[in-house]
């Protein structure tokens, strides 16, 4: 594609040679002639004056400090624009049809244009919407509902009574709807398993990362709301509720019956204790331990977590103590 064609897709303005042809996409620090890259993070501005890229997507308010060789495509939001280009280029021929080796129960219902890959299983009374893609070696239990345009990648297990909305992506080897970690001690001090008879409900436009686990509720539902993004290796326990557009990064664990609000950002390796409430618009920094309720709009860090500003002040004292 030419720079002019790319700019037209992005509603961008070209500064430089409009007829340059783009043959690949590269990181700005590794780009060569023919490459398209983007720049949104100030940490990488230095590469703009060194890169061999032919064209750079950049914010329209950028003002260079010295001469620039690449052609610029100026847009309102360079990160969003570059994501759009990647999405367009990543679209491949969609798989279609049902493989001979797939097992589909006679009582299961499939919508139009579904794809079912090799050795996948769909049990009785499960219902798939239109354009659902079930890749290889997937297990879908009884009474599962999966909405239109959702995709389940290789090796995932969607267990009985799970409800998944539209436009969701379930990545490799995720397990949704397994029994929650429910045990109680008897009078002899021995653990007795508590039956987990609830389910998991997942809204629309949700992503569940590889090897993530979302447990079914003891009773009622474990609830993942619209737009939630869950990274790889995340554990969501029984009866947890997560509000709309919240994101949880890798290796985070949320204990049973805790409720997390809307628009939260939870970084990697965060641990959230059970039966807690985390408010809306909360940011929890990496490796924090949450042992009490967190009010709306908070920024917390540490274990046990405290206000982010207070944590930074405290850390100065920690460093001083460590140097003695």
Q: Which CATH class is domain 156-310?
A: mainly beta
pLDDT tens digits in sequence order for the chain, 324 residues long: 899 999 999 999 999 999 999 999 999 999 999 999 998 888 888 899 999 999 999 999 988 888 889 999 999 999 999 999 888 877 655 788 999 999 999 999 999 999 999 999 999 999 999 999 999 999 999 999 999 999 999 999 999 999 999 999 999 999 999 998 888 898 999 999 999 999 999 999 999 999 999 999 999 999 999 999 999 999 999 999 999 999 999 999 999 999 999 999 999 999 999 999 999 999 999 999 999 999 999 999 999 999 999 998 888 877 777 666
Residue ranges with strand state E in 62-117: 71-75, 97-98, 103-104, 109-110, 115-116
d(CA 311, CA 209): 30
> Domain 3-90 belongs to what topology?
3.40.1390
In the chain, residues under CATH classification 3.40.1390.10 are 3-90
Confirm whether 238 is a catalytic residue. Answer: yes
pLDDT at 44: 86
Dist CA 203 CA 222 (whole Å): 11
> Which pLDDT does position 322 carry in this prediction?
66
For the chain, count helices (H), then strands (E): 4, 38
* Per-residue pLDDT at 324: 62
Query: Does the N-terminal peptide bond of residue 304 adopt cis geometry, omega within 30 degrees of 0?
Result: yes
Dig out the tokens for 169 from the structure: 């992506």
3-state secondary structure at position 290: strand
pLDDT of residue 93: 57
- Of the candidates 87, 86, 77, 35, the one whose C-alpha atom is nearest the C-alpha of residue 56 is 35
Q: Is the dihedral of CA 296, 297, 303, 309 positive or negative?
A: negative
Residues forming CATH 2.160.10.10 domain(s) in the chain: 156-310
């Amino acid at each position: 594609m030419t720079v002019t064609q790319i700019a037209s897709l992005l509603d961008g303005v070209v500064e430089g040679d409009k007829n340059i042809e783009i043959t690949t996409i590269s990181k700005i620090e590794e780009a060569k002639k023919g490459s398209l890259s983007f720049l949104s993070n100030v940490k990488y501005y230095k590469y703009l004056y060194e890169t061999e890229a032919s064209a750079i997507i950049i914010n329209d308010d950028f003002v260079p400090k010295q001469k620039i060789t690449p052609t610029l495509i100026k847009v309102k939001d360079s990160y969003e624009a570059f994501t759009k280009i990647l999405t367009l280029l990543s679209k491949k021929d969609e798989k279609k049809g049902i493989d001979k080796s797939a097992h589909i129960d006679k009582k299961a219902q499939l919508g139009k244009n579904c794809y079912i890959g090799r050795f996948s299983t769909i049990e009785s009374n499960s219902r798939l919407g239109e354009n659902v893609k079930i890749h290889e070696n997937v297990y879908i239990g009884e009474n599962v509902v999966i909405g239109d345009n959702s995709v389940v990648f290789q090796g995932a297990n969607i267990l009985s009574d799970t409800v998944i909305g539209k436009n969701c992506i379930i990545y490799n080897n995720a397990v949704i709807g397994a029994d929650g970690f429910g045990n109680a001690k008897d009078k002899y001090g021995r653990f007795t398993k508590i039956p987990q008879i609830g389910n998991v409900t997942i809204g629309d436009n949700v992503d569940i990362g590889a090897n993530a686990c979302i447990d079914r509720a003891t009773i009622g539902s474990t609830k993942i709301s619209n737009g939630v993004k869950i990274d790889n290796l995340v554990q969501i326990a029984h009866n947890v509720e997560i509000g709309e557009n919240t994101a949880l990064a890798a290796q985070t664990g949320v204990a049973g019956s805790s409720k997390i609000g809307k628009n939260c950002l939870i970084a990697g390796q965060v641990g959230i204790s059970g039966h807690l409430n985390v408010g809306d618009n909360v940011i929890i920094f990496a490796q924090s331990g949450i042992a009490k309720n967190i009010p709306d709009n908070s920024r917390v860090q540490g274990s046990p977590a405290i206000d982010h500003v207070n944590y930074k002040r405290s850390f100065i004292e920690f460093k001083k103590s460590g140097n003695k």
